[in-house]
Structure 1
């Protein structure tokens, strides 16, 4: 059975993806985690912010682990990315376009003085970019270029995801994902040209 702390972090991770940081209240988190009032500050001295930081880190662990598993199970890294993106799109649609990325949802609300929360978000985006870069690098694309493409990949996906949630329509998201995957295929062909035909 999970501990109270684990249930709190899991509940916050779900709420961040659905409502962002400002949109979720402490009482809602306690109810979702089936935790008594007052227990939050026992586990997180800085309250909601500390819980959100832990939830962001848990979310990134889950997201990157999902891509790692897809990459390990596929002989084609780009196919692994495609399956990973498809899984997230399906989750978005199944939630009625409510379940998005906890990083993006929180980043839109964070204030300049919330330095620890901002640092956790920045760390999360870097971790996500690094995992995507590792997957792209597995195609044969050199590491520096793989990281450049990963940063672009994550930025384009996050923007399309937000628009899909607002419109309750994944058409644009599908198109962006197809474009990103096509770009990677083109880059891969450039790095590893097909063998020349014998005369």
Structure 2
């Protein structure tokens, strides 16, 4: 069995992700990133001629790639889409808890600190968030949700995910995220069951409203 040998480029990206989690975009010092990666400045500019900003874009893309991979893994493992989403969210929450609330989501930190001048960074964030929403929406459609509704639910889940992690880190407590998921997930199951019932009623030529007595 072969073991993947991490490259210098990967070390630099991982170091940038860790620094973004700790300090955000503007607090990410080049010397700290290079020390964490154990790489000289010349090597960094060889891989990332655009410097820290280009490295930040690579870190954002790598983070989204990881999140999408984990989401796909849970979707394949769990037949119920809501259960899979819960597992995916709880994985992130466990990571935050294990770091004693020091390692937040690098995406939220960068998004909050970026300005209109950070075109490449914002483009990477926009593309990544759209990919996550799209993957969730596709899974929700397969589970029985109508497409437009699924896209709205996916946007809500992602907003709750990022906002919940942000609040949990500030509070130093998982409670804000747990409360959010406890309120959100049962609503998703009810909505799916309601839509499936409505479709069945329409297919049978019946009405979808509640019968009055």
Bin the TM-score by the shorter chain.
over 0.9
**CA apart distance, 1:10:** 1.7
The secondary structure found in structure 1 opposite 2:6 is coil
Long gaps (5+) in structure 1: none
Out of 3, 6, 15, which is 1:2 matched to?
Answer: 6
Specify the alignment match of 2:165 in structure 1: 161
**CA apart distance, 1:108:** 0.8
Specify the alignment match of 1:176 in structure 2: 180
TM-score normalised by structure 1 residue count? 0.92
Specify the alignment match of 2:76 in structure 1: 72
Q: Distance in 2 between matches of 1:99 and 1:178?
A: 23
- Give RMSD over aligned pairs: 1.7
Specify the alignment match of 1:140 in structure 2: 144
**CA apart distance, 1:181:** 0.9
Specify the alignment match of 1:41 in structure 2: 45
Q: Is 1:31 aligned with 2:9?
A: no
8 Å contact from structure 1 (residues 103, 124) kept in 2: no
Specify the alignment match of 2:206 in structure 1: none
Work out which of the two has the higher radius of gyration on C-alpha atoms and give 1 or 2.
Answer: 2
| Deviations 1:44-98 (CA, angstroms, capped at 9, x unpaired) | 1110000000110000000011010001011111111111111111111001112
Out of 155, 159, 163, which is 1:151 matched to?
Answer: 155
Q: Distance in 1 between matches of 2:68 and 2:38?
A: 28
Q: Distance in 1 between matches of 2:193 and 2:111?
A: 35
Q: Is 1:115 aligned with 2:119?
A: yes
Q: Distance in 2 between matches of 1:124 and 1:98?
A: 23
The secondary structure found in structure 1 opposite 2:125 is helix
**CA apart distance, 1:134:** 2.3
Q: What count of residue pairs does the alignment treat as equivalent?
A: 196
The secondary structure found in structure 1 opposite 2:39 is coil
8 Å contact from structure 1 (residues 78, 139) kept in 2: no
